[in-house]
Amino acid sequence: MKANLAIHGGEPAVTSPLPPMYPGGMRIGAEEEAAVLDALRGKRLFRYYGPERGASRVEELEAAFAAHVGATHALAVTSGTAALMGALVGLGIGPGDEVIVPAYTWIATASAVFAMGAAPVIADVDESLTLDPESVRRAITPYTRAVIAVHMRGAPCAMDALIALGAEHGLAIIEDTAQACGATYHGRYLGTIGDVGAFSFQFNKIITSGEGGMLTTDDAAIYRRALMYHDVAGGLRNAVPNDEVIPGVNHRMSELHGVVALAQLGRLEGILADMRRRKQTLKDALGEVLQEKGLGYRIIHDPQGDAAIALIFFARSSAQARELAQAISAEGVRATNLYSPDKVDYHVYCHWTPIMGQRAWSANGGPWKQHPREIVYTPDMCPRSLDLLGRTVHLDVSPDLTDEQVVQVADAVTKVVEALA
Ligand SMILES: *Cc1c(COP(=O)(O)O)cnc(C)c1O
């Protein structure tokens, strides 16, 4: 049996290279091209003015995005990180405040909190690889102001429990939806359930303009502060009374990015449908063999709402997870293990060296040294997250996999799991 495995010199199960995992990026086509040319020809590259009259396409994107997800307000910005910063400003979070972030998220979530002068506090994830509400509860202190619920790898957090916890303790809920644009939870779009949502259109995300982001909220006051923050003249431009204007920085989206993001928004539901269908086929094909070997999928709090960008299952040990990932990769399917102690990866808190080392850019030590209580980070402070992440095998689910490739991916995993697990 073992001789069959590609890692032992056998024939790989996958016979043609699989599509790269840039769902929106790989679908850039005639619409994006035409939209960019149109913007260039109109010489209207800045959202607030230009030589020609006509509506701003960034403004059009905001209206379309808000309508699509069902938010009252949407604000386009330069990145997902900028959207998170706008969300924190919108909620009035700054020095002396604490914001709870999950142990598993892109470091940008914690960096945005640091950038506001507030202290990130790290809580465990559960078998969904998203924030564990009970761990959040234990991390609350008198200084906690908000929780950033990160919908990792396309899947919703336990939003009911997090919203209830927020209400119980007077905490705002920010949804970091950078990896889950278009995903839902009990029928509602992620990013519209908490107080404010943050999306990214960076090239790795579900839809993309290369760089870009979006903030969504139903709260007029949050929107107004975020609007002022994202444009140094945002108060003036939006007729905010002079004595209410707060300082801002320039995180405005350019029209060139806006037209691309707008074209991509038109592709979103098609991309999601294609990923969901492929993921379901894979799950149906693999369910039995995984179960036989005692391996389980990660929990998804609302499977129907899953963006379906990834298929993740747990091995019994981290050594087994690494062995399986290597063998599956050798079959021609990129399989990864989401945490190893010796491979620096900014998705796992213990590898966030600038945050873990509390390296502020100011001589006074920044948010950590100026904070009213001592914040302590240790590499083993979230052992549950490290155990779970260490045991994962992660597969991409590209919307562009052919039916034949989906079968080959299932064959590759089956072959390896049967031989090694
Ligand atoms: C990508 C990402 C961000 C940051 O988005 P950028 O557009 O790269 O700034 C934040 N959080 C998560 C979970 C992400 O994956």
Confidence of residue 63 (pLDDT cuts 50, 70, 90): very high
Q: What are the beta bridge partners of residue 146?
A: 99, 172
pLDDT single digits (tens) 228-273 = 999 999 999 999 999 999 999 999 999 999 999 999 999 999 999 9
Provide the sign of the torsion angle of the four alpha carbons 351, 356, 362, 363, taken in this order: negative
- Average pLDDT of the chain, as a whole number: 97
Atom index in ligand 1 nearest the CA of residue 82 equals 9
Average pLDDT over residues 105-125: 98
- Amino acid identity, position 34: A
Average pLDDT over residues 92-112: 98
> What is the CA(187)–ligand 1 centre distance, in A?
24
> What is the CA(88)–ligand 1 centre distance, in A?
15
> What is the CA(138)–ligand 1 centre distance, in A?
26
Q: Does residue 1 have a pLDDT over 50? A: no
> In the numeric block, which tokens belong to residue 53?
């009259």
Instruction: Supply the pLDDT for residue 52.
Output: 76
C-alpha–C-alpha distance, residues 354 and 84, integer Å: 18
How many other C-beta atoms can be found within 10 angstroms of the C-beta atom of residue 161?
Answer: 16
73 Cβ partners below 8 Å, 6+ apart?
Answer: 66, 216, 217, 218, 219, 220, 223
Q: Does residue 11 have a pLDDT over 60? A: yes
- The yes-or-no answer on residue 415 being catalytic is no
Instruction: Supply the pLDDT for residue 114.
Output: 98
pLDDT single digits (tens) 374-415 = 999 999 999 999 999 999 999 999 999 999 999 999 999 999
Atom index in ligand 1 nearest the CA of residue 112 equals 10
> What is the CA(82)–ligand 1 centre distance, in A?
9
* Closest listed residue to residue 301, CA positions, set 156, 414, 106, 139: 156
pLDDT single digits (tens) 193-232 = 999 999 999 999 999 999 999 999 999 999 999 999 999 9
Instruction: Supply the pLDDT for residue 219.
Output: 98
Pocket residue to mutate for ligand 1, from 106, 230, 309, most atoms within 8 A of Cβ: 106
C-alpha–C-alpha distance, residues 93 and 89, integer Å: 6
Q: Does residue 192 have a pLDDT over 80? A: yes
pLDDT single digits (tens) 154-186 = 999 999 999 999 999 999 999 999 999 999 999
Lining ligand 1 with CB less than 6 A are 79-81, 105-106, 108-109, 150, 176, 178-179, 200, 202, 213
Phi-psi region of 308 (alpha: psi -120 to 50; beta: other; left: phi over 0): left
Query: Annotated catalytic residue: which of 205, 293, 343, 369?
Result: 205
Average pLDDT over residues 59-64: 98
E strands present in 271-358: 296-297, 310-314, 335-336
Nearest CA to ligand 1 atom 5: 80
